Chains A and B, each alone.
Chain A
């Protein structure tokens, strides 16, 4: 007997809604846009629930839906707003500086430098990265997906995921390290 789509949706897909909303929050510049995106993803997942094979990874499938929705939205935005580069957004770091845990000689471990940034600041830094790099970090580091699964969601080879993750972390470091140094100097 064929399972009821509504039951399937609420049993297999809806439990992953928090992860979808979280990724949407990080991907989008403002909360209403994130909410709209998450809503579109869940409704599309319901509409195409027949394409989801029972027993397979619902989260991975849902992230692929999210990625498609996000890509469509970016295309529309780019058509209507010219060719604004995603990495060109200004970034205003949050005040106040938090560098108390830095040692007196001015050196700090990478962990200490990064812990001094709030989640919002880390997200703001992520939003300065190119979309493909950002997606890779979201799936591999934030969501903890292995490279193979992330590659399936992104539809790229595993090696590309590995190199993008590597580059993305270096790019984040280059964004955050000068801010941390400036804060320490200002202090």
Chain B
């Protein structure tokens, strides 16, 4: 048996606060910005990407049909948006899921912060019209950034809940609404619940703000967290 195995991690540690603090401090390194341009250039040179784009695969004879169909699709989409949206855009579940993954992986430029107050200040410095983030009790705040979804401002903050990264995004309720989905009623509030590739997200409107909380935790846990938000 090695020395490693002799040490029992389950024995109560009088310095547990230090253990937790070191873990949390190391977790913050995950949001450190990474410069990828040199690596990207070298890898692209060694492994050229496939040049056969979608357009190249479509024969010339079908190009006119594709363009016409695309034009009609755009006109119809714009018309529907004009009729139904009234300035409100529908959140794309796929886009938000991708954004969460990018934020967690450090592919999105984010500012490291440790409190919601600091996050609100950092976001306000970037954009004076940034939606205000609600207070998140007890969780560890790691990073924040602004995002634009179909031209609407979305304030985002990455928090750590027991080692699981959670993204909280906030928009003005006048700007954003949830896509149609099953809803769960809790305390008289309707939560829209979605799952994309194992990533759960709950969406809700509270205090004039549209909230989306997402992460690899059960939806119930995400709703618990949303319930605790302080506006």
Contacts and interface: CB of A to CB of B under 8 A. Distances in A.
Which secondary structure characterizes the binding site on chain A?
Answer: helix
B47 A9 contact: yes
Interface residues of A, number: 51
Contacts of B2: 160
A170 B18 CA distance: 8
Contact of A18 (B26, B36, B163): B36
B34 A18 contact: yes
Contacts of A38: 39
A19 B34 CA distance: 8
B43 A14 contact: yes
A100 B4 CA distance: 38
A178 interface: no
B38 interface: yes
A25 interface: yes
Contacts of A14: 43
A82 to B, nearest CB: 25
B7 to A, nearest CB: 4
Contacts of B7: 163, 166-167
A143 B47 CA distance: 27
B5 A160 contact: yes
A123 B50 CA distance: 38
Contact of B105 (A16, A110, A115): A16
Interface string A88-104: 00000000000000000
A179 interface: no
Interface in B1-45: 2, 4-9, 13, 15, 17-30, 32, 34-36, 38-40, 42-43
A15 B2 CA distance: 37
B22 A144 contact: no
Interface string B152-182: 0000000000011100000000000000000
A111 interface: yes
Given A126-B26, A162-B9, 7 more contacts: A39-B39, A46-B46, A169-B19, A170-B18, A170-B19, A172-B26, A173-B18
Interface of A: 4, 6-7, 9-10, 14-19, 21-22, 25-26, 35, 38-39, 42-43, 46, 109-111, 113-115, 117, 119, 122-123, 126, 137, 141-144, 156-157, 159-160, 162-167, 169-170, 172-173
